[in-house]
Structure formats: C-alpha cells, structure tokens
Structure 1
C-alpha cells in the first residue's frame, strides 16, 4: 500500500471522511467488512464505545449485547493484547464459541484480522477487517496484510481521537508525560530509581523527578500509591 494511502486517513476532518478512508483501505485489501472502535475507560467504572463500521442490516441488533463480547475470542484477544489476531472458524471452535461464528458467518464475517492499540489515559483503538472468502495461504502475502493493517491503525488512531470524541471532551485521568508513564511502569516492575534511569538512559535524579511529578499529578504521597492509582485509571498496564 502506498504511503499516501496512510497519510490520507490522518487528514480526515469528519466522521464521514474517516469512514470513507477505512472503507477504501479495507477494499484495497479485498475485505468487505470493517469495524473501528474507540474505547474510553472511566476511572469510576464503565467504558464508552464509539464505533464506525459497515455492518449489514440486522447484524448490530444481534451482536451489540456486551455479554457476547466477553465470550467472543477475537474481542477477548484484543482486550488483552496488542499483537494482531488472524481468525477463522477454528478460532471460535477452539475457544468453545462455535455458535458465535455460526451466527455471524451469514453476515459475511467468516475470517478476518483484528488488532488493538492500547493508549495512555485508558483509551483503546480496535480495528478489524472481515470477509467471506478464506485468507491467502501464502504466508508472505498474509504477513503483508497484517503489516498493512498495523500501519494503517497507527495512522488512523490519531484521526479517530480527533473526529470521534466529542469536541472539548476532557479525560477523567490526569495527563502524564510519556517519560512519567515509563517511570511508573518500571516502578511497577519493582525497579529502583537507579535501575529505571539505567533502562531509560537517564540519570537517577531525572528518574526520581519524573516519578515525583507523576505522584503530584495523581495526588499521591508515595510511588507505590501512584502505581496503584495509575493502574486503576488505565494509564499503565
């Protein structure tokens, strides 16, 4: 896929333009169906799901039940991991959910590729493409498809945050810098400030500064409390 194809989704200025770009991308990869979901977690519980898709009539009425998502192996994979999943009927059979595949297959959802990007501040972007015909048996061709989807998702997520979230919406979580989040992550892994500095190629003093800044933003009195609060808010995983 040409670089311009990825660039154009970045320039989407509305939900309709965003949808058109995903439609074009899916069709270029020979997929009939697609879904793009922006998930916003709330610290007090619950999540908002904002989706753009081209599901046929009747499909959403059946599959919008959140209880199905807890059983769907593709959604469960995306919830827990960032690596893409290439799925087919056997994926559902192996995970004791063959009835879900049998219900969605008549709508054109027989095989597909899905992935999730897990972002700071409890936000997630899930992108999937689906079709009826089998996926390429050539591993090189299939790998190229997966790589195209990953690269497109990296570009599309910025547009999704811009055109799908309501204007002026503020996140419930404080805004921590990437370095502050990295320092909290390694603190969660049991690293000392000196070890965090070594891992991130910064001084121990700078690591302590980032941790202290994160503690202040989170309203915590020590780094362990800050790690727990960041975990609860979905800032780190």
Structure 2
C-alpha cells in the first residue's frame, strides 16, 4: 500500500492534516499486514534513545486514532531485557500462551512472554535508515511462515515504520503547555471515561470537563478528543 508523502510544508496546519491522513493510511496498511498472518491486533512503537531502559512509545495500533489498551500495557510493562533485544538483534521473536502445545512452523526466536499479555504473539524489531528504532507487535495465534515470507513481511513492516517516522516528525516540535486539569481529563478519556464520568471524578460540571478537553485538543492541534489522547500519549504528556 502506498502512503502519501507528508514531508512538505512541515508543521503548518495543512501539514498537520496530511500527517493525520498519513497515519490513517498507515493504520490501514499495518492492519493489512496483521490480516495476512491472522493476527487479532497490531501495535507499533518507537523506542526511546536509551534502549537499555526498554522505553516504548505507542505510535499506531489497531484502534487508531485511539491508543489501544494493549499498546498502553505493552508500553507500561516493557522490560529492560526487551530494550536490550531491540538494541542487539534484528531477529523477530515470539511468545506463546501455552508453551506445552506444538509451536507453529514460524522461523522466530522463541522467548518467554516478556510483558504479561497472556496471549500469543510475535514481534518485529524495526530499524530505520535514520537510526531510529521501534517494534511492531502482532497479537494472536498465527499460521506458519516460511523464511522468504517472513523476510518479506519484516521488510514491509520496516518500510511502513520509516514512513511512520516521517509522519511523526510533523507532530508539534514544542511540548504544548497543558494545565493539570487538561491532563487529568485526557488521562481519564484514555481510560475510556465519558465527559459525565470525568466530571464526577474531578468534581466538575460536564460542561467544564468538555471545555478542558476542547482546550487540550486545540493545544495539540487534534481533530477530536481521541486524536488528542493519541497525541498526548505519543508526546509523553500522559501515560
């Protein structure tokens, strides 16, 4: 799938719109990859500069423009060993929910589930030409892939990751100044709370809660609150 070029006119309103459109196309392209191997969902992450710390930042997943619970769980539970694996190896790896059953004929490094997902899956380390690193995770029992098919699958994921990095570069260069209440409302929205539930939890009116969410979306140049939550997570403003 071809994803449009979004590098021109970087950081203006039109570039922000092109970036969102590129993310939508990337989500569709990664979904197509997941479907090819029968995966139930996918999550793609960028890795922080200190890979030994295993810091993963959600970039895109099956629920875009939202950030899925699986992405958030992976980002929160990523271990130092996972960071070391990203830094030291380009080999895909997998984990299985039931290690007693015969494994599918996948040419992957077999490891113990490093993040407590309690579901089988496999992951592809992503190393872009720019030097940036990331991880693509596909969740679910998958059929066997031969060496040639797995290599092609991995290369296509790396190509999409490179395009994703271009789209990410169009996000705001400066961290927006957010109030504590705006961040609280974004966190609760990420947890799936409605405006009424947020208002009750924060002792606000629903109208005021909506005002905070609208202000947060404007500061993040987001098209809606789900997009605002997604951007805030990717910028590290909330977790």
TM-score, structure 2 normalization: 0.47
Larger Rg: 1
| The structure with more helix, counted as a fraction of residues | 1
